[in-house]
Structure 1
Amino acid sequence: MFNNAINAYQTIQNEGLSDRETEARVLTQAARRLIICQREWAQPNLRERLGDALQYNQRIWTIFQTEMLEETNPLPLEIKRNILKLSQMVDRRTMDTLTEPEPEKLDLLIRINENVAAGLRGSVTGPVGQF
């Protein structure tokens, strides 16, 4: 699953998009996967799809964590700290949702992804779920 997140990231980069747009698109893709799980909560193979969606999302945030810890990262220290705090929140909510699945627990992860993606695009947009 880690390779899927990296492959998606690299595929989008190869399309000629900026790093920020690439990050926004993979976050949006992760949010959509979580939204679909939420909408199809009663479907028979939910556990597997939910696990895949959560793992995909967490891998993206793990990549962000790694980038924020790089000494060569040019972002201001405060932004790096905020992203690390968000990634810790994503980690905790992911583990909580895997342990005790409830569709409402996905709301926080979806909102974080949507808001960060909007910020990366330099815009405030409506929820990803409205597609």
Structure 2
Amino acid sequence: MQRSCRIINPVLILSLVMGSMPLTVQAQPVALVSTQQLLATEQVNADRERIRELLARTEVRDQLVGLGVEPAEVEARVAALSDSEVRQMAERLDSMPAGANAVVGALLTVFIILLVTDLLGLTKVFPFTR
């Protein structure tokens, strides 16, 4: 009797556990991604990379340091930009003439973005905004 209970007990426990599990797995709802959405995402990533490359130039970094902005802070800020902000910044870069004015304009744009976020209290880059 005890020998048969040793065999039957694990089988009964296993059958109860397996019986309480659902037999089907429900699929998670997933929306299809349109071509326009995919291309927009790729364009934003390309624009963000172009902004990073511009800010990685030595003359841009020197001017930012001269304004009191650390390069690590700029990198973090570019990474935190929303897609629409990246798009706006890239459009401004496209509309600027080539040459030294573009660097100054890009610096001015970054400075304004940093200043606005500082005034809103989101960051603490410039001490004169407190």
Give me the TM-score of the superposition, normalised by structure 1: 0.29
Report which structure shows greater RCO (CA 8 Å, sep ≥6).
1
Report the structure number with the largest CA radius of gyration. Answer: 2
